[in-house]
Structure 1
Amino acid sequence: MLPRTIAALTGAVALLLSSGAATANATTATGVTAGAEVNVSTAAGLRAALAAAVPGQTIRLAPGEYHGAFLGRKAGTAAKPITVTGPRTAVLVNDGPAGSAPSCPAPTTGWDPGYGFWLYDAPYWNLTGFTVKDAKKGVVVDNSPHVVLDGLYVHHTEDEGVHFRRSSADGVLRNSVVEYTGVVQPGYGEGVYLGSAGSNWGCHGNSGGADRSDRVLVENNRIGPYVAAEGIDVKEGTTGGVIRGNTFDGRGISGENSADSWVDVKGSGYLIEGNRGSFTGPGTFANGYETHNPATTPAFPNGCGNVWRGNSSDLGGVGAYAVRITSVSACAGRPNQVYASNTVTRAVSGLTNIPVTP
């Protein structure tokens, strides 16, 4: 009896295992294999995987070019983010835009916005390792908090390279390279764009009338050369971000649409520390870092309460100040601070135009 019992149990276990394997590898209606990991090697496969993504899933890109529009709309969770990952030789290219655009950017049937990768209403995603190039905009994150972009290579975009927009708070951009942006519209070719201009809050002001893409961490990236507008444009209404450990190469900055610095801070409460910036021609360069104080409705203390610490700036004998504070009186209740730990070389005027904090 014992051998027969063991044989029966063995057969039952084998049946359960095969049933579990079949369930784990079941094919969905989209043609994507369900499970914790999905491997894709074609543009159609990637679009299907994005449409079918579930929390905790990893979509792996094989080397090669993926042409077209790629949109993520499913929500991950803090415990189970959705991940899209691939080597740098996995390259997303969007040859758009095409179709009739809505009045405000939103996924619309028949419209391709030309973005290299677009997250919309999609919190808790990780995008790692791959390349985005030859797109109107590189990576656009809309109403998608807690998104991490790590180790990406974004280049040759018509407009900006990476945009956290529509209250995409608590995001991260790290260990990435952004260069050759604004190749068609230099004045709108920022490397990294945090938030939206107040004039665009009618579209993107989904948090009390403002775009609150707050507390974004931009860390350990190389931004430039040939970023035609600012390396980082910190928009009004945003607060609490950190810009740390980045390298800014100012070659090729255009001077169009006031693009004449590595970082323009119109948000408030940012910590800007441990960055290295340099400028050599060609390009138009006024200052390393600047603040501005645009008025907005609803009112925010724009361009105030920011801190610069431990940054190294080489202005190439062209730039005036490493940090230029546009208005002291506009921030009387919450002043900007430039610490003595910042250093500057080859500056026309010096470290800053305000008293230095010891």
Structure 2
Amino acid sequence: MNAVNEPGRNRPLIAAAVLGLAVTFGAGWAVGHSGDSGNGTSQVATSAGPATPAPSGTGEETEMPSQTAEPGENPVQAGSVEAKLPSRNKWKKAPVKEFTCPDATVRVSTSDQLQQALDEARAGASIRIEDGLYTGEFSTTADGSAKKPIYLCGGRDAVLEAGAIKGGYTLHFDGASYWRVDGFTVRNGQKGVMVDAGRRIGLQNLLVEHIGDEAVHLRTGSTQNVVRGLTIRETGLRKPKYGEGVYIGTAESNWCEYTDCKPDPSNDNFVVGNTISEFTSEAVDIKEGTTGGVLAGNTFDGSGMTEGDSWVDVKGNGWLISGNTGVDSRADGYKVIEILDGWGWRNLFSANRSTVRGDGYAINVTKRRSDNVVLCNNTARAAGEGVTTVKCRK
């Protein structure tokens, strides 16, 4: 959503190397294969207008035919970043590899012990959260390093709760970098996991649920972080219009509060292989001011949306949106929006499968000449207006 939803205080900015990663995202995911075929009638998208709608109520999957798109004629406008169109295989190059938690150097079993461990953490530490309920607003400013990250790990029955959906962050990385976070449950806060000015943090296999606003937020120059394999559900319980699953960056209306009136460069973040449901706004909101990220291999169920009208809003530049599967939207599957001149440009859509069951498009590029590229391997079922607003590219 475009609404203001980031109460807090100013954060410093931090802006990068890339490590290899290959991730398996489940059956039916074939990133970058233009031969990915649907099971139903072909649907033609033209450069002059919207795609021809599929027959109403058939539920058939439609695949875009192989056509060559003409890139936008207008250059990226002033105020934006000159982002390049990403490679369709960029999803393989996540900055944080999938990891296994090492043996614990510290074990905690109470809320006080957990906060103390977060305060005293040093590079190479491995904190193990024992099963149990941990109540509080937990935070850290500690840094690991590239060779010695800090691990924070626990099972699903280790539950962190802020205590209320009307205030506070359940888990806050406040200027902290090089953490590896795995396995436990985060719930019952206004926000679930907040990363401010964090770099190379890996959030992996968490359950984040029953949250007042958004479940996970990467903000104020948080770069090269990876949100991988999370189960996210029940967001927007405080205010439905703020109920995103994953929120990247800062809305332009808040730049003066958080980033000295400049774009929030929360760049090169990866959101991969997550399952997001029961969200009231978007599953993922990619804000203007962010560049170079990857949204790949995720599953979205929009049947609980009450405020958003698409699974994903894309307002940043140079993002790869690839191999995602979505069902049930109020209007569109994915929506690319130029909320600010020169933003919402040069994003690439590849091999996404959409069962929209809504009145809009699977991929709605709202400004046609913005150098966004929709490959012909994207497919759609039950999209009232068709696959996309632009001609597909082979």
For the 8 Å contact 2:104–2:128, the answer to whether it is kept is: no
**How far apart in 2 are the matches of 1:319 and 1:349?**
6
Cα deviation, 1:32-80, whole Å, max 9, x if unaligned, reads xxx9710001101001111110011011000111001100111111111
For the 8 Å contact 1:68–1:96, the answer to whether it is kept is: no
Higher RCO (C-alpha under 8 Å, 6+ residues apart): 2
Question: Structure 2: which 5+ runs fail to align?
Answer: 1-102
**How far apart in 1 are the matches of 2:165 and 2:385?**
44
Pairwise CA distance, 1:96 = 5.0
Could you tell me which of 125, 137, 156 is aligned with 1:88? 156
How many residue pairs align between the two structures? 292
Give the aligned partner of residue 287 of structure 2: 235
Give the aligned partner of residue 224 of structure 2: 170
For the 8 Å contact 2:297–2:324, the answer to whether it is kept is: yes
Q: Does 2:237 match 1:211? A: no
SS in 1 for 2:304: coil
Give the aligned partner of residue 66 of structure 1: 134
Q: Does 2:276 match 1:223? A: yes
Give the aligned partner of residue 44 of structure 1: 112
Q: How does 1:317-328 map to 2 (within 5 A)?
A: 318-328=358-368
**How far apart in 1 are the matches of 2:392 and 2:376?**
6
Letter of the structure 1 residue corresponding to residue 382 of structure 2: R
Give the aligned partner of residue 312 of structure 1: 353
Moved over 3 A (4+): none
Cα deviation, 1:69-125, whole Å, max 9, x if unaligned, reads 100111111111111100011000002589xxxxxxxxxxxxxx5111000010111
Give the aligned partner of residue 356 of structure 1: 392
SS in 1 for 2:210: strand
Q: How does 1:206-355 map to 2 (within 5 A)?
A: 209-224=262-277, 226-255=278-307, 259-279=308-328, 285-295=330-340, 301-316=342-357, 318-329=358-369, 331=370, 335-355=371-391
SS in 1 for 2:117: helix
Pairwise CA distance, 1:127 = 1.1
Give the aligned partner of residue 20 of structure 1: none
For the 8 Å contact 2:271–2:296, the answer to whether it is kept is: yes
**How far apart in 1 are the matches of 2:157 and 2:165?**
23
SS in 2 for 1:287: coil
Pairwise CA distance, 1:309 = 0.4
**How far apart in 1 are the matches of 2:164 and 2:213?**
13
Give the aligned partner of residue 157 of structure 1: 211
**How far apart in 1 are the matches of 2:238 and 2:344?**
29
Letter of the structure 2 residue corresponding to residue 37 of structure 1: T
Cα deviation, 1:265-297, whole Å, max 9, x if unaligned, reads 000100011110001xxxx6110000111227x
Q: Identity of aligned pairs, percent? A: 41
Structure 1 or 2: more helix by fraction: 1
SS in 1 for 2:192: strand
**How far apart in 1 are the matches of 2:129 and 2:137?**
15
Pairwise CA distance, 1:204 = 2.2
SS in 2 for 1:45: helix
For the 8 Å contact 2:129–2:154, the answer to whether it is kept is: yes
Give the aligned partner of residue 239 of structure 2: 185
For the 8 Å contact 1:191–1:227, the answer to whether it is kept is: yes
RMSD (CA atoms): 1.6
For the 8 Å contact 2:218–2:247, the answer to whether it is kept is: yes
- Structure 1 residues 160 and 97 mapped into 2: Cα distance closer, same or farther (>3 Å)? closer
**How far apart in 1 are the matches of 2:165 and 2:246?**
21
Could you tell me which of 183, 194, 197 is aligned with 1:129? 183
For the 8 Å contact 1:276–1:313, the answer to whether it is kept is: yes
Give the aligned partner of residue 45 of structure 2: none
SS in 2 for 1:315: strand
**How far apart in 2 are the matches of 1:126 and 1:289?**
30
Pairwise CA distance, 1:210 = 2.1
- Structure 1 residues 49 and 265 mapped into 2: Cα distance closer, same or farther (>3 Å)? same
Cα deviation, 1:296-331, whole Å, max 9, x if unaligned, reads 7xxxx3100001100100012x242100011124x2
Question: Structure 1: which 5+ runs fail to align?
Answer: 1-34, 99-112
Pairwise CA distance, 1:227 = 0.3
Could you say which structure has the larger radius of gyration?
Answer: 1
SS in 2 for 1:181: coil
Cα deviation, 1:164-184, whole Å, max 9, x if unaligned, reads 001101000001111110012
SS in 2 for 1:248: strand
Q: How does 1:101-120 map to 2 (within 5 A)?
A: 114-120=168-174
For the 8 Å contact 2:164–2:188, the answer to whether it is kept is: no
**How far apart in 1 are the matches of 2:376 and 2:247?**
28
For the 8 Å contact 1:120–1:144, the answer to whether it is kept is: yes
TM-score (norm 2): 0.72
Letter of the structure 1 residue corresponding to residue 319 of structure 2: Y
For the 8 Å contact 1:288–1:319, the answer to whether it is kept is: no
TM-score (norm 1): 0.79
**How far apart in 2 are the matches of 1:303 and 1:223?**
23
**How far apart in 2 are the matches of 1:322 and 1:36?**
45
Pairwise CA distance, 1:354 = 0.8
